[in-house]
């Protein structure tokens, strides 16, 4: 019945900190649509942003900043990602570690965004799976 994810909604308590982090640190592109609506694009995916007071027609019953646990596949080697995170003074909470991805074993680092969502950034693991997620 289902084929893929179209978009995910990211609830934030500070639109400007959220946009800065995802655009400056992670390299996503800001997109404006509708009346006062924002999204972050990367590849063929997007994150819609719901700041406080957003006028969405329908949304989660209890949207809560910091409740997401997201995993992104990197477009470059993980060591380059780690270097970029260090350049932006983003703390790595865990990793690199090998985990189970949706399609293959992944090597990941874990960070937090300004709302304290857990962000996993991964690459294809070169060796066999050592630990499971």
C-alpha R_g of the chain:
15
The pairing of beta strand 94-100 with beta strand 69-73: unpaired
Active site residue 120: yes
Which is catalytic among the residues 31, 93, 120, 126?
120
Distances (CA, A) of 83 to 36, 70, 91, 93, 107: 34, 20, 11, 15, 15
Question: Annotated active-site positions, please?
Answer: 120
């Amino acid at each position: 019945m289902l084929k893929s994810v179209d978009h995910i909604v990211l609830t934030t308590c500070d639109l400007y900190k959220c946009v800065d982090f995802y655009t400056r640190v992670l390299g996503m592109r800001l997109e404006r649509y509708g009346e006062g609506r924002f999204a972050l694009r990367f590849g063929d995916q997007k994150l819609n942003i719901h700041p406080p007071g957003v006028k969405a027609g329908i949304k989660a019953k209890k949207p809560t900043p910091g409740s997401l646990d997201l995993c992104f596949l990197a477009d470059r080697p993980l060591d380059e990602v780690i270097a970029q995170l260090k350049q932006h003074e983003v703390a790595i909470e865990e990793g690199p570690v090998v985990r189970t991805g949706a399609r293959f074993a992944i090597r990941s680092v874990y960070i937090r965004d300004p709302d304290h969502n857990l962000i996993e950034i991964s690459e294809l693991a070169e060796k066999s799976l050592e630990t499971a997620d």
